[in-house]
Amino acid sequence: MTRLSVLDLSPIVAGGDARGALLNSRDLARHAEAWGYTRFWMAEHHNMLGVASAATAVALGFVAEGVSTIRIGAGGVMLPNHAPLVIAEQFGTLAALYPGRIDLGVGRAPGTDQITAHALRRTLSGDVDRFPQDVLELMAYFQAEQPGQRVRAVPGVGLHVPVWILGSSLYGAQLAAMLGLPFGFASHFAPAMLDQAIGIYRDRFEPSESLDKPYVMAGVSVVAADTEAEARRLFTSQQQSYVALRRGEPRQLQPPVDNLSERLDATDMAFVNSNLSHALVGDQAIVSTGLAAFRARTRADELIVTSQIFDHAARLRSFELTMQAHRVLEAVG
């Protein structure tokens, strides 16, 4: 069985605000729980006008209060931006409030531009290079207290919050394999190394106290609607966001437009098509076919779906149709 989860970037739409985005995120989580999704994760991004989840632990706490069974987690926290103890305390607090339901995915990218990364950290020297040591330190804070231990995460110590390694390159795959941790690949926006990264992770995996065999999660962008034409129009909001990022002009999520390809130059379209090459866009039948092909290709244990859609009701419908497509696949094996 392949699990299905939600990755939410809490989009701030044009004309909207962060409060509305976070309320929509909590509403999406409630629906995702009712539809049978396994997890609801939010991602850390900074200085992004269209993303409301920069303070990821705070946002997750707000969402978690509105649901009761679905797992809640970070997909992910960009660990070089933070001291491991701070993240252990934040997610230890979440685990204390919502026991048995908190996940912590960590990555080594800044989740922003270099200027903002400097504002977050005050220094960029050595932070990324320390990522493996920081992961080990973070994990240690969630273990039982050791004799003579002088620094503890309170809350956090003894809560055994599951830690995942997230990545979009081979580095994360190698580290996750070496540490025996579950691995999530960001194929929803960086598909180039998907097959190679999963292969390396599985081939080099070392069993650990956390995990006895490899566990792969793969990201997939899905825009589903009742008709293919409607889905393709809704998809233009996400395409516009990618063009804005490429140009260094991030903005709020824009409403869909007609004939987007006629408004963009060849370079923009090539960038969009490359980074979103795994996106599944269409009605339920098209999405079902795409999910089946992606599952067969990756043999992933879990797919995590993101859907950047301007209208909240349409976004809910996209996730509902995606789960329906998934259930059809599960029924036929």
CATH number for the domain spanning 102: value is 3.20.20.30
What integer pLDDT is reported at residue 272 of this predicted model? 81
Same domain? 156 vs 220: no
| 96 in the same domain as 223 | no
- Which pTM was predicted? 0.94
Q: Give me the average pLDDT of each 10-residue run along the chain (333 residues).
A: 96 98 98 98 92 97 98 95 95 98 91 65 60 96 94 97 96 97 93 94 97 97 98 95 85 94 82 84 97 96 97 98 96 81
In a domain, 38, yes or no: yes
Predicted local confidence at residue 113, as pLDDT = 65
According to DSSP H, which parts of 247-311 are helical? 266-275, 284-298
Same domain, 4 and 108: yes
* Shared-domain flag, residues 17 and 100: yes
Identify the domain containing residue 234 by its residue range. Answer: 216-333
pLDDT at 249: 84
Identify the pLDDT of residue 112: 59
Give yes or no: residues 246 and 140 share one domain: no
Distance CA 38, CA 304 (A): 9
* Domain total in the chain: 2
User: Do 26 and 112 belong to one domain?
Assistant: yes
| E strand segments, the chain | 3-8, 39-42, 71-78, 102-107, 163-167, 183-185, 216-224, 280-282, 302-306
Task: With respect to residue 52, please indicate whether it lies within any of the assigned structural domains.
Answer: yes
The answer on 220 and 314 residing in a single domain is: yes
- What is residue 61's predicted lDDT score, i.e. its pLDDT? 98
Based on the fold, state whether residues 101 and 28 are members of the same structural domain: yes
Q: Which of 162, 165, 121 is nearest to 143 (CA)?
A: 162
User: Are both 153 and 240 inside the same structural domain?
Assistant: no
Within this chain, do residues 40 and 146 fall inside the same structural domain, yes or no? yes
User: Looking at this protein, which amino acid is placed at residue 303?
Assistant: L
Per-residue b or e along 194-210, where b marks 16 or more CB atoms closer than 10 Å to that residue's CB: beebbebbbeebeeeee
If asked whether residues 117 and 254 sit together in one domain, one would say no
228 and 298 share a domain?
Answer: yes
Please write the tens of the pLDDT for every residue from 228-254.
999 999 999 999 998 888 888 889 999
- pLDDT the model gives residue 250: 81
Give the pLDDT score at 101.
Answer: 97
Does residue 252 belong to any structural domain of this protein?
yes
pLDDT in tens, 265-310: 888 888 888 878 889 999 999 999 999 999 999 999 999 999 999 9
Q: Which of 161, 182, 208 is the last residue of a domain?
A: 161
In a domain, 183, yes or no: no
pLDDT of residue 276: 84
Instruction: Determine the pLDDT at residue 319.
Output: 98
- Does residue 186 belong to any structural domain of this protein? no
> Of 119, 143, 161, which marks where a domain is finished?
161
DSSP state string for 136-169 = HHHHHHTSPPPTT-----TTTTT----EEEEESS
Residue 197 counted as domain residue: no
Q: Note whether residue 277 is domain-resident.
A: yes
Q: What is the pLDDT of residue 11?
A: 97
Asked, for residue 304, whether it belongs to a domain, the answer is yes
